[in-house]
Amino acid sequence: MKIFVTGGAGFIGGNFVYYMLKTHPDYDIVCLDALTYAGNLHTLSGALENPRFKFVKIDITDRDGIFGLFDTERPDIVVNFAAESHVDRSILSPEVFLKTNILGTQVLMDACREYGVKRFHQVSTDEVYGDLPLDRPDLLFTEATPIHTSSPYSASKASADLLVSAYCRTYGLPATISRCSNNYGPYHFPEKLIPLMIINILNGKPLPVYGDGKNVRDWLYVEDHCSAIDLIIHDGKVGEIYNIGGNNERSNLQIVELLISTLGKGEIKFVRDRAGHDLRYAIDSTKIKTQLGWTPRTDFENGIKKTVDWYLNNRSWWENIVSGEYINYYRRMYEDR
Ligand code: NAD
Ligand code: TYD
């Protein structure tokens, strides 16, 4: 079995590469990644020497390059993690989100059709459902919740989902889609809430909480997301959508306070809110639990402890990032905010 993992030099894709190498000792994994600002070969340093692993630097929108690679490698399964993934960046510059997230997905699916790939899996997000009110804890996103997007990021992911469903129905592409809640864990790029706060605490910088900090996200440890995708690509039904969630809702303020208490220091600074900021995400994972037998294994307290320890023990990984181009991004996003 040969699996193409696109976006494998990023946060979740990188964790998925390690998960699959460990869980399936007879599989070959080929990582396709353009190494954008969010891609990092250091993330894959523990896989590069493995004879069952190969890294190819390639942009998923490069149609000729992608077709050439499918022709030589002949994958059985393609799991598409490659994407522009940060809401704040999508507000600053939407165009690349449309290019990578929509057109890149189309190129991959065209190649899957041409080379008879047995399964194309699209890694999507709960953000395609829009948001839920803060005062209705009884409401959760199910697979039947209508798409209703807020940011250019979520609109691009929703567009890709619609295209995947269309390819499945019109061309018979054997595809599945998963929509997961917010992930956290090792190799998470420093621009996102949890790593940003850990790193700012360690660097003695203020902790920028958007608005009043009451927005809620449903957090899942990244390895539990990987195990769900592994189940879907093997046992999931073609044409189906599966929600994946941690059943673990926390306000941003609760998250930041937990990190302050875990690390023993840190000072919150409330800053201007994100435009169009989604209030609450909460996933109903009943379908994947009952139909595929998935269960998340890492509880939040343990997951946060493992994550904080990882950032403490892997300083060079993130120091490399935050001392480079990231400085300009941080200034642009947070200075005078
Ligand atoms: P990330 O930003 O950490 O990684 C994205 C990776 O894709 C990077 O390695 C980057 O180099 C690569 N990439 C970007 N554009 C590319 C292109 N044109 N061609 C090839 N490679 C390209 O993102 P992540 O947080 O790991 O998210 C992975 C996927 O999971 C995304 O599709 C995202 O929408 C989805 N998702 C993320 C979360 C989350 O909490 N992070 C939750 C649900 C779904
Ligand atoms: P983020 O990690 O960007 O994920 P998403 O927007 O895709 O859910 O943000 C998580 C939440 O944290 C979101 O409500 C925005 C908020 N947030 C802050 O308050 N401060 C920050 O510096 C960042 C990056 C996010």
In the chain, where the domains are located: 2-188+219-249+280-299
pLDDT at 50: 98
* Closest-CA residue to 168 (of 241, 260, 85, 238): 238
CA 192 to centroid of ligand 2, rounded, Å: 6
Cα–Cα dist 29/2, whole Å = 6
Residue of 18, 129, 153, 311 with catalytic role: 153
pLDDT at 8: 98
Q: Which residues of the chain have pLDDT under 70?
A: none
Residue of 84, 127, 230, 257 with catalytic role: 127
Count Cα neighbours of 184 within 13 Å in the Cβ-side half-sphere.
30
The SS3 assignment for 89 reads: helix
pLDDT at 157: 99
CA 264 to centroid of ligand 1, rounded, Å: 31
- 249-279 pLDDT per residue, tens: 999 999 999 999 999 999 999 999 999 999 9
- 123-141 pLDDT per residue, tens: 999 999 999 999 999 999 9
Task: Please tell me the pTM assigned to this model.
Answer: 0.99
Cα–Cα dist 89/328, whole Å = 13
Is 127 annotated as catalytic? yes
pLDDT at 103: 98
CATH, domain range 2-188+219-249+280-299: 3.40.50.720
Cα–Cα dist 99/315, whole Å = 33
- Mean per-residue pLDDT over the chain, rounded: 98
pLDDT at 110: 99
